[in-house]
Amino acid sequence: MALPTAEYSRSRSTYASLRLSVLQFLADPQWLVPSMIAPVIFALVSFELFRGAGPYYLTYAILGAGMMSMWGQTLYGSGWATGQDREFGTLEPTLQAPTPYIYVVLGRVLWNVISGLIGGGIVYAVIVLVAGGPPALADPLAFALLFIFVMVTLASVGVIFAAFYVYTRYAGFIQNIGEFAFYIGTGCMFPVVLLPFVTNPISLAFPPTWALDALRYLSIPGYQGFGWGFWVDLGGAIATTLAYLSIAGLVFHRVERHVLEEGNLSQY
């Protein structure tokens, strides 16, 4: 019998990781709730603060809340999985397996993207219900596609975070403390151009900043975002996402080598 190729083994690991994530979710779907409470409340607060500001401000509330929900599912999920591996004592065996760890993480990230979409959909439904109707959108299909792309850009950040979470014992701290900073930095509820100009380079280092700006150009008439407009935003989002995924691959490779040399991975 011929040995399976490395590619086969890797895809099987990703599939197994994805399947396990789905099964764990189905066994206890209540875990979708914590990551949706904050986005729904933030959306309702923003809706109240934007009341009377104009019809397109509902889009800001929905986009921001949707992104928060995705943050919860995608970034939390991706990073937390590594922390749980460490806690359960499965991180060392997983890293010792022939399949690179990134393929295991990829399976989890794929599910987190899907569950993030589910969460985003629920948040959207709640806000539409409260507002009494959907937001005014020029091109709903393009909006939906770009919304999914925003999720992918978040997932690329999640993969990088997951790589660093292998190193750090402070994953929970980084997530909790970094949550609002990330919301501000990427302009999830308001245009990044409102922030001081000196902070813009930091914001632009994150793929969701570009993707959200593009999404607002697409959906809000007269939107005042970055001066370069929709297409450059879209190009920037794609470029930074690809850069993140490439860096994630390199970082995972180095992290794996390092922790195997150090042998202190199980110390919690």
Partner 1 sequence: MTTSTLLYRPSFWRTFWTNAVMAPRTSLGFMRVDFVIGTVFVVPLTQMVFFAFVVQLGGGGATEIAYTAVGNAVATVTYSSVFSVCQTTDSEKQQGTMEHLLVTPANRFALYFGRGLIPILVSLATVAVGLIYAVLLYGVSIPLAVLPALSISIVLMAFAMVGFGLLLGGVALYLRTSIILGNIFLFVGLLLSGVNFPLSSLPLPLQWAGDALPLTWGLAAIRAALSGESLGSIAILWGAVGLAALVSFGAAVTLWKIFERRALATGSIARF
Write out the residues near partner 1 by the rule CB under 8 A.
30, 33-34, 37-38, 41-42, 44-46, 48-53, 57, 60, 170, 173, 176-177, 179-181, 183-184, 189-191, 194-195
Task: Report, in Å, the least distance between residue 66 CB and partner 1.
Answer: 15
No. of H helices and E strands in the chain? 11, 0
- CA-wise closest residue to 233 among 215, 259, 255: 215
Closest CB to partner 1 among residues 50, 164: 50
Closest CB to partner 1 among residues 106, 127: 127
How many C-alpha atoms does 247 have within 13 Å on its Cβ side? 16
Task: Report, in Å, the least distance between residue 189 CB and partner 1.
Answer: 5
Closest CB to partner 1 among residues 51, 257: 51
Closest CB to partner 1 among residues 25, 103: 25
Q: DSSP characters for 113-138?
A: HHHHHHHHHHHHHHHHHHHTSPPP-S
Task: Report, in Å, the least distance between residue 40 CB and partner 1.
Answer: 9
Closest CB to partner 1 among residues 49, 250: 49
CA distances to 103, 138, 245 from 41, rounded to whole Å, are: 35, 26, 32
Rg (CA), the chain: 19
CA distance 165 to 254: 13
Task: Report, in Å, the least distance between residue 151 CB and partner 1.
Answer: 21
Task: Report, in Å, the least distance between residue 99 CB and partner 1.
Answer: 30
Task: Report, in Å, the least distance between residue 260 CB and partner 1.
Answer: 26
Chain centre to alpha carbon of residue 257? 26
Q: DSSP characters for 166-184?
A: HH-S-HHHHHHHHHHHHHH
Closest CB to partner 1 among residues 60, 143: 60
Exposure pattern of 133-152 as b/e (b: 16+ CB <10 Å)? eebebeeeeebeebbebbbb
